[in-house]
Structure 1
């Protein structure tokens, strides 16, 4: 792909305006030019059954604010989430490295919510789960109010899939007056062989009547495919994975909110999204051109329908949700779709019995259905020689949970909780937790606790008829049995047990007059880890099968700091140091879990109109594919945000300012080079 000089110069000019224009006005009297903010709900809601202040949250939590989201082009939420302590991944548009992980655990152990409701999963609709994209970007960024991240198991509230933690995307409420915004962004890489990205989004909300409100949103993001000349590795062989495919994401969202009376509200929401992917193009010296690998589906569709009721009664508050999540992957041959029906509710009761308490009772019913003609029932026999037929799987799940927050003293609280999960296939499972928050001084907080986590096998993982054919990378465990080269079949297992974990953590934090600091130690023991184990040859095929064979342990430190350097400059930083992130059964490090990761930023509010940020992201040495290791590296970003008028904001800057490039022949780990971006948002 070639970038015209006109486009490139226009981009630099736009970024320059964002960086320099307000400096000429520095001596002028400033006026308030930013639009009036919408009414916000600032209480943290993800770590407990009821809303609580961030300082009192019974968990290790972080919040990404609306202001942080507006500072830079957010084509995918990974670029924001990787700034949070305990979070790794989120680099590049493709592969395992692009996925967000919490405290060294794979992305499948992180539960993704929007306004407290599951978004479902499209992972098993791809040919292989590890090639699927993470379901983080089905919503327009300018509809997001904040993102709440809980690190550590939250199965006591949310059940399966929350072993590593929870990412809860909170959207903006319907405004009491008609307001909205529209944004456009473009990012152009310095290297002409890398694809550029464009994004257009808009949202509006307001009242239809005194009791009825409407919110609408839409987003289109397109990344062009790379067109690269393949490089050679240290052995002189071509690097086939050097280059990212293209993608186009489209989504629309509509929310109708009815304020029935002062105590009750009812809302209906509909979401539709389409995600497309296509391969990169590579040139292999004298061999000529070829089409590279495309990560992600050629066309993935998501539809979601949500009915919600909330009540604020004299005795407490209630919430009831009923929703349907549907995914469809249009395959070249066959079909793949999934459906998730959920009904869940909670009752929040404040009362006094010896001490003030807040009791939350809740329950959930869920039905899942998966069809994939490419990976379910695709072979005549399973690994035992039993005939296989059918490409559809179903499962029913139910749960009940209880949580009690006891406010023992004005500065001491204890949270106790347990969730009871049941499925016909995997039986019963309890996930308890206990957490203490203590304020020895108004500026100091001590918190710590113990929690259990679990993840039930997915429908595909728990089926003997689920067989994915690997082209070779999934077959390495067969070599001791005589396997040399070629494909193998990777089978599910109906005898799997749920994976479980026990997390222990303790932390200390300080917060006074803009100064903040915190340090947390965490230790997670992970048992019954599900991995592919070697079986051998059956019916002329090489087989591996999922087994509960592994144990893992992750432990480390998370630290944060915020220091005001005068009235207009703030330095903030965080770091995660993994003391251990190891598969105890094999002795190997967990894939894509760096020893040290850190984020640091200088924020300068130059005047009422202009703010800038210089940030650095460090990723320590980590294991890549196979036995490869990716060396540590650091990238720098420079961004600026200019409130030009009350109705127009510009932003621009440079990503990977020093043009760090890992394409040196030692690894195929994808780190995009230097790129220039510019954008504009108009408010109405």
Structure 2
């Protein structure tokens, strides 16, 4: 939330306020646009939403988009690491592939997943912080506006725009690890934008960013003793050497006050060493041409048209995924309503390149088409009662017709300067997610396990669907923001993976050929495929408190607190009784922030995680019965990972108006996430397998410093 300060010009009144020690603050209204496609106050948004401002992002190391939004209620990065060494994001307990990543409301990732387990790895390609205006996060389905991949939530990075003069920023940063188990990180970010002509009709924006994580001097996970033959899998953040680079540009043209055009192009490249069979090399390209118009009285009729091309290439596995997206939407007022109507066409494809092929009789190119028509109406029933309802119709070349409706009601119960604003809102929304192209391709379609396990598609898969119920209460005053949200989601036909042993039967009549790997063999030969779980549920409560910055004579001080309780589980199928994702049941984030005259600032931030079920002891073949048997044989091994508490301390100092220094100590207490237990994993009862007592191995104490210059 943006900082609130007293801006009263009346000196006499200021003195009266000071003598009375009254620190009433002018109200800054937070606005969002992701929930409906048009700008509106946060309290009027028909969804559970959070905002991360540019100022919130400054002064701390941001590894990727997951790191940037990790303090938001309902968001967890504890499900493990991505295949590029970053954070895997879960919103309300849903897998990372259920979260749609946008920039300025347009899709950035390829929806067809040319390779499994890379769904949120593309969150690593976050724009430079200086280019970002804010990040908006929707917690819960947003399939009406954004389609299939928004079944779990939406993360929308909104870039700065409309510069009256040339501005720029250059930032260099580094993170120094105290332990040799993790590699140091160095990075640079550049951003510049401004008008190209005196009339300020033409504008140009340039973005560039690169970061490099050095290889650790020692292996992150030491084997506990010589008797151990296998180390239980724990996700490791930042374990491997990797390099990320991106460059982007936007050419804008303001024809008049009613018409704005731009073309935006971006190229991303990443190399990652996962310390297993093979390194990962992949690139991504995004190109979009867009027109935004505003017409009629006061520009209340707005249009948004775009043509977009996205591609992602995995050099290691010779797979190229491509999307072509055409979309138009119109927003117009009518009586007491604001209506949004639009249409979208999406072409998805995955190609096997350089002589490789998909399994079976599948050609080297697989593709599909989706046409969608959607409409939504914001109807002001009364001045303090707003109903939003709408739906989306999808027609897909592989899965046919689907309709996803939603309805949301907002009631402004109290709007009072003394008491503050009390808003009650809630609704029912539906989600819809089609299987990826490779999910339904017969035969060997891709690989997982860092290239060691062949994945076979299942042509009998059905799309997933969900119904989400939520109820929220928000109280906003000059001094604080308080919100509480309860949610319940029912999933149908949830897609889950399962393991098949060597020579076992697979869908479409195939047999598992598991005698291969990145080095020609694998330690535990198996394959993987998919099936529809009959149903699953996710439910929880999200609490958030913000104490807005107040004047304490020598500076301003504020605080934030968020707490999430979340449970999710499959209610049928082989995974019945097990969570959909391995996230903590309890999550607590807190922070105290201090600033002095925009010269110096400091923060103390804490995070607590507890009750995360241990699910990886049986690899990809876990079931609730098998887990219970395993734990009965190993009474010393808890069914939950150990809880943990972390502290982070940091600050910033404005050396001049244009030069800023940021610094921080993360994992201040140097909590160690390497803690092994030797489990019985053989028939004779010998302890041969080591299992970590933490789901994710995070970095130890580390020191962050950055220097940022505006020009």
Pairwise TM-score range, normalised by the shorter structure: 0.7 to 0.9
User: Residue in 1 aligned with 2:698?
Assistant: 671
1:141 pairs, out of 112, 120, 129, with: 129
79, 85, 89: which one aligns with 2:73: 85
Distance in 2, Cα, partners of 1:91 & 1:656 = 19
User: In the aligned structure 2, how far is the partner of 1:422 from the partner of 1:41?
Assistant: 39
Alpha-carbon shift at residue 583 of structure 1 (Å):
4.9
CA distance in 2, matches of 1:681, 1:92: 31
Indicate yes or no: 2:425 matched with 1:441.
no
1:119 alignment counterpart = 108
Instruction: Give 1:555's aligned residue.
Output: 539
CA distance 1:399–1:186, shift in 2 (3 Å):
same
Q: Which residue of 1 aligns with 2:384?
A: 411
Pick aligned residue for 2:655 from 637, 644, 659 = 644
Q: What residue number does 1:612 align with? A: 602
Alignment equivalent of 1:633, drawn from 626, 629, 644: 644
Aligned-partner Cα distance in 2 for 1:300–1:470: 15
- Selected match of 1:343 from 300, 318, 326: 326
Matched with 2:24 is: none
Structure 1 pair 207–187 and aligned structure 2 pair: CA distance change class (3 A): same
1:142 is paired with a residue whose SS is: helix
Q: Is the contact made by 1:91 and 1:670 (CA closer than 8 Å) also made in structure 2? A: no
* Mapped partners of 2:172, 2:190: distance in 1: 9
Counterpart position of 1:163:
151
2:257 aligned residue: 262
Give the secondary-structure state (helix, strand or coil) at the position aligned to 2:55.
helix
**Counterpart-to-counterpart distance in 2, 1:142 and 1:371:** 36
1:529 aligns to what SS in structure 2? strand
**Residue among 268, 274, 283 paired with 1:301:** 283
Q: In structure 1, how many angstroms separate the alpha carbons of the residues matched to 2:486 and 2:192?
A: 43
Counterpart check, 1:656 vs 2:667: yes
CA offsets per residue over residues 414-439 of structure 1, 9 Å max, x none? 00110111111100111100001111
Detail structure 1 runs of 4+ shifted over 6 Å in the superposition.
none
1:66 aligns with 2:64: no
Once the two structures are superposed, residues 291-338 of structure 1 have per-residue CA deviations (whole angstroms, 9 ceiling, x without a partner) of x466xx63211111110001111061111011111111212xx62111
Contact 2:352/2:358 (CA < 8 Å) preserved in 1?
Answer: no
- Residue aligned with 2:442, SS: coil
Q: Which residue in the other structure is 1:239 paired with?
A: 231
Is 2:497 aligned against 1:532? Answer: yes
Instruction: Please report how far the alpha carbon of residue 643 of structure 1 lies from its aligned counterpart in structure 2 after TM superposition.
Output: 1.3
**What per-residue deviation string (whole Å, max 9, x for no partner) do you get for residues 192-219 of structure 1?**
2310111101111111111111111111
Work out whether 1:329 is the aligned partner of 2:314: yes
Match of 2:404 among 431, 442, 466: 431
Q: Distance in 2 between matches of 1:529 and 1:395?
A: 21
How far off its partner does 1:588 sit? 1.0
Distance 1:136-1:192 versus aligned 2 partners, 3 A rule: closer
Of residues 236-245 and 390-399 in structure 1, the stretch that sits farther from structure 2 once superposed is 236-245
Alignment partner, residue 317 of structure 1:
302
Q: Please list, as runs of the form range in 1=range in 2, the aligned pairs for 1:514-529 lying within 5 A after superposition.
A: 514-529=479-494
Structure 1 pair 601–488 and aligned structure 2 pair: CA distance change class (3 A): closer
- Please, which of 150, 164, 171 is the counterpart of residue 183 of structure 1? 171
Q: How far did 1:532 drift?
A: 2.8
Structure 2 portions without partners, runs of 5+: 1-27, 416-420, 514-525, 618-638, 678-691
- Equivalent in the alignment of 1:19: none
- Deviation of 1:371 after TM superposition, in Å, equals 1.4
Q: Does 1:106 align with 2:95?
A: yes
Contact 1:86 1:103 in 2 (8 A): yes
Q: In the alignment, what sits opposite 1:28? A: none
Q: Is the 8 A contact 2:79 2:90 kept in 1?
A: no
SS at match of 1:227: coil
2:371 to 384, 398, 401: 398
For residues 239 and 465 of structure 1, do their structure 2 counterparts lie closer, same or farther at Cα, with a shift above 3 Å needed?
closer
Q: Distance in 2 between matches of 1:575 and 1:527?
A: 28
Aligned partner of residue 67 in structure 1, secondary structure: helix
Q: Whole-Å Cα distance in 1 between the matches of residues 549 and 322 of structure 2? A: 52
Q: CA deviation at 1:563?
A: 2.1
Distance 1:252 1:415 in 2: 39
1:368 alignment counterpart: 348
Q: Determine the structure 1 residue equivalent to 2:688.
A: none
2:114/2:446 contact within 8 Å kept: no
Q: 309-318 or 115-124, which moves further after superposition? A: 115-124
Length-normalised TM-score, structure 1 = 0.84
How far, CA to CA, are the matches of 1:273 and 1:279 in structure 2?
19
Structure 2 counterpart SS, 1:61: strand
CA change 1:523–1:240 in 2 (3 A) is closer
User: Bigger shift: 603-612 or 402-411?
Assistant: 603-612
Distance change in 2, residues 1:255/1:349 (3 Å): same
Matches of 1:459 and 1:341 in 2, distance apart? Answer: 15
How many aligned positions are there?
606
Alpha-carbon shift at residue 91 of structure 1 (Å): 8.0
Contact 1:375/1:467 (<8 A) preserved: no
Secondary structure at the aligned position of 1:268 is classed as strand
Q: Helix, strand or coil: the match of 1:82?
A: coil
- 1:20 maps to none
Q: Give CA-to-partner distance per residue, 1:114-171, whole Å, 9 cap, x none.
A: 1000002388344x43697243424222211110000011101111011111000101
Higher mean alpha-carbon deviation, 619-628 vs 63-72, is at: 619-628
Decide whether the 8 Å contact of 2:605 with 2:648 is kept in 1: yes
Q: Does 1:460 align with 2:450?
A: no
Taking structure 2 as the reference length, the TM-score comes to 0.80
1:29-75 C-alpha deviation (Å, 9 max, x unpaired) = xxxxxxxxxxx996311011322111111110000001011121223
Given that 2:392 and 2:405 are in contact with CA atoms closer than 8 Å, whether structure 1 keeps it comes out as yes
Equivalent residue number for residue 530 of structure 2? 546
Cα separation, 2, equivalents of 1:505 and 1:339? 35
Aligned-residue offset at 1:373:
5.3
1:287-298 matched pairs, under 5 angstroms: 292=276, 298=280
Deviations 1:359-404 (A, max 9, x none): 111010011110135998454x4xxxxxx24232111111010000
